[in-house]
Amino acid sequence: MNAMQMMNVRSVLRSENSKQWFKVMMMFALFFGLMFLLSNFAHAADGAEFADAAGKFETWVKGSLGKLAAFVALAVGSVVAAVKKDWTWFFGAVVLSIGVGVVATVINASFTATI
């Protein structure tokens, strides 16, 4: 290949590459422009619209239903751990039982947090 052919190949590659980058940059500009425009309409008023759902979820997790689910998880984990002689099932059930209570506390704290 002579020098002239190499320059033609480079210019074609450069123009294809620049076209692709231009398309990517325009898509990002369009995306961020739309996100900026939609952000004005996407704000919640005061968060009270989710208070009922958060309260119901918290009573489920911390009430009788949550205690029953934790007990069932521990029972199943204990049985599987005894049958398979693999204690990871039991410890997984313990982590799951404790984790659900912690997640409910974190969700409740995020609904009541003030800035």
Tell me what the pLDDT averaged over the chain comes to: 76
Distance CA 31, CA 18 (A): 20
What confidence score (pLDDT) does residue 71 get?
A: 84
pLDDT surpasses 60 at 13: no
What confidence score (pLDDT) does residue 81 get?
A: 87
- Residue among 102, 109, 101, 91 nearest 69 (CA): 101
Top mean-pLDDT range of 3-7, 39-43, 105-109: 105-109
Q: Mean of the pLDDT values across residues 4-32?
A: 73
What confidence score (pLDDT) does residue 19 get?
A: 78
